[in-house]
Amino acid sequence: MIVHPELRRAARHARRPLLAATLLQGAVTLSWLAQAGLLAQALAAIARGATGSLPVLLAAVLAVVAVRAGLGCAQRRTAARAGAQVRVRLRDELLAHLGRLGPAQLTTARTGAVRTTVVDGVEGVDAYVSRYLPQLIVTLAVPPLLLAAVAAIEPRALLGLVPALLLALAGPRAWDRLLARRGREHWDSYEGLGADYLEALQGMPALRAAGAVGRTRRRLEERSAQLHRATVAKLRVSLAGTGITDLAVQGGTAAGALLACWSSATGATSAAGTYLVLLLAGECFRPVRDLAREWHAGYLGVSAADGLAALRTAEPAVPDTGREPADWQQAPRLAFQDVEFTYPGAGEPTLRGVTFTAEAGRTTAIVGPSGAGKSTLLGLLLRHHDPQRGRITVDGRDTAAYDLGSLRRGIAVVSQETYLFHASVAQNLRLARAGATDEELERAARTAGIHDEITALPDGYATVLGERGATLSGGQRQRLALARALLADAPVLVLDEATSAVDERREADIVRELTAAARGRTVLVVAHRLAAVRHADRIVVLDGGRVDAVGDHRALVAAGGLYARLAEAGRTHEEGLAA
């Protein structure tokens, strides 16, 4: 009966409609009482043989039935509105928080599990808050009033009603703890299965290639069976509680009826009083029966409450306490000063004392062997994590001094893994700038070397892409993502292997076009193929988390260090390809 704090919190999102739904539910219950009163009088009149007043009484009963139908309709509509309000607010809140948590959190959480919480969990909370809670309040308020009314007519009836009511309400509470545990187990299985299915669907090509489809199917079947077992285990406990309630309701009604008959037989109450006690005894239990029904509707919300609370209160990897808006009028200078960083839980630092600057309005390339820490460096600039030592400044200010949202908006990123949505090409591009004109879209697409291929699509810019851009080639996806980043028109552009899936000749052209188009912006480029970055104003060579050398292409080749070796390896590879 104790309402989970997360669910109470959710209910606050729709105080007014919930209050209205509760009052209407109360009115519906009162109409049942009025009907009981009128029927008792009618029955008493029949017993007395005074049928004169019957038509009026029966007409009044019909009127009450009609009013209740109207009230019930209004109640359901108000409750649905309250539920929708709770759902929308809760999802908005969760999505905004997920945005604040950023990629650092999402790399550890399973997408399918988060989806299950945000979609199914919130749906359950809607049912709990909009249907169960109003009924709970009515159930706690109405039976005591009824008992008082019964006590005024025939106090002895309370001997049957009070224990039965207490048993009906408090009996199932004996299972609360067990039910909560079973509920959590059920929810964990439910979330896990959601995550497994999503992963299996998204990874189907990899599973097929590895010949693992059959094995995955069997694993999913086992997980489904596990969910089934968890559901049955939860149901068993829940049904035990419902069984107790039913038993108490039926026993209480029967006991009330017997006591009413007994007092009538002994002449202690009038005929009207006896009928009234009989009918009111039944009404005492109606809210309890209704509550048991709504409990099942809203139970998923109770199971999901812990998961929702965990998601809503998850701590972001970095604090968002900076207030400075990142509204740089001109391209800013980026500086890394003695930056040291170790991933949470990792033993060894990934970056050790990294120091370099990316001059304002210039292109700086970061190169180095795989695992050198290049992407990590870019992640720190975007504050997916904060370094344990050293500073990263933009325009002379610590990145932490900026408002996190505006810092991330000021830096357009294209990474190795692009994300395109199941929407038209134009809609995908306009994600970066909703108000961009068609000409602007076209200009960005031309610069990214994708315009001609877009116009060759069946509907040009209006062509709807498959999920994650599945209907495009890897290189086309990357170039579309590049066009989107250009459209964002942010003063800092970060390209992390942004052209890795584009063929080498094309890559050189795109990089040339891009640097020309991005003139006036500060560009950071990470690329494996050195040919793509040889024209960069400055090249930072990273090795094992340290800066090995800084310079331009010529100076670095002349110095004969790691860069020269990487360039030589790249040249031999190209010659091999050409041969």
Which residues are at the interface with ligand ATP (CB under 6 A)? 107, 343, 346, 350, 368, 370-376
Taking the least distance from each CB to ligand ATP, the nearer of 300 and 351 is 351
Please report the sign of the dihedral spanned by the C-alpha atoms of residue 219, residue 223, residue 224, residue 229. positive
Least distance to ligand ATP from the beta carbon of 117, Å? 22
| Closest distance of CB 526 from ligand ATP, Å | 7
Q: Which is nearer to ligand ATP, 445 or 539 (CB)?
A: 539
Closer to ligand ATP by Cβ: residue 13 or 374:
374
Instruction: Give the span between the Cα atoms of 188 and 381, in whole angstroms.
Output: 36
Do residues 513 and 329 make contact, with C-beta atoms less than 8 angstroms apart? no
Please give the single-letter amino acid code of residue 425.
V
| Least distance to ligand ATP, CB of residue 345, Å | 7
CB of 498 to ligand ATP, least distance (A): 12
CB of 525 to ligand ATP, least distance (A): 12
- State which residue, 321 or 370, has the beta carbon closest to ligand ATP: 370
- Taking the alpha carbons at both ends of the chain, their separation in whole angstroms is 77
Burial of 55 (0-12, 13-18, 19+ CB in 10 A): exposed
CA distance 44 to 477: 81
CB of 530 to ligand ATP, least distance (A): 13
CB distance 124 to 299 below 8 Å: yes
Q: Which of 186, 191, 17, 190 is nearest to 88 (CA)?
A: 17
Give whichever of 152 and 346 is closer to ligand ATP, judged by the CB atom.
346
Asked whether 445 and 483 are in contact (CB, 8 A), the reply is: yes
What gap in Å lies between CA 417 and CA 470, rounded to an integer? 13
Which of 445, 525 has the CB closer to ligand ATP? 525
- Least CB distance from residue 141 to ligand ATP, whole Å? 53
> How near is the Cβ of 416 to ligand ATP at its closest, in Å?
7
486 vs 469: CA distance, rounded Å: 18
Please calculate the CA angle 10-15-21 and round it to the nearest 5 degrees. 105
Number of other residues whose CB lies within 10 A of the CB of residue 420: 23
- Nearer Cβ to ligand ATP (371/466): 371
Longest dimension (CA), the chain: 119
Nearest-approach distance from CB 108 to ligand ATP, in angstroms:
8
Nearer to ligand ATP, 348 or 439 (CB): 348
Least Å distance, CB 374 to ligand ATP, is 4
The radius of gyration of the chain's CA atoms, rounded to the nearest angstrom, is 35
Sign of CA dihedral 471, 475, 481, 486: negative
Contact 312/94 with Cβ under 8 angstroms? Answer: yes
The whole-angstrom separation of Cα 447 and Cα 467 is 25
In the 8-state DSSP scheme, what is residue 155? G
CB-nearer residue toward ligand ATP: 313 or 370 = 370
Q: 231 in helix, strand or coil?
A: helix
Shortest distance in whole angstroms from residue 548 CB to ligand ATP: 12
Whose structure tokens read 């497994």? 196
List helix spans (H) across 423-579. Answer: 425-430, 438-447, 451-455, 474-488, 504-517, 553-559, 562-578
Residue 259 or residue 372: which is nearer to ligand ATP going by CB?
A: 372
Q: Which is nearer to ligand ATP, 257 or 380 (CB)?
A: 380
Q: Min. distance of Cβ 389 from ligand ATP in angstroms?
A: 17
- Indicate the residue among 85 and 350 with the shorter CB distance to ligand ATP: 350
- Three-class SS state of 386: coil
Minimum distance from residue 104 beta carbon to ligand ATP (Å): 7
Burial state string for 208-235 with b = 16 or more CB within 10 A and e = fewer than 16: eeeeeeeebeeeeeebeeebeebeeebe
What token pair was written down for 221? 């079947």
Cβ closer to ligand ATP: 326 or 526?
Answer: 526
- Give the whole-angstrom CA distance, residue 526 versus residue 504: 15
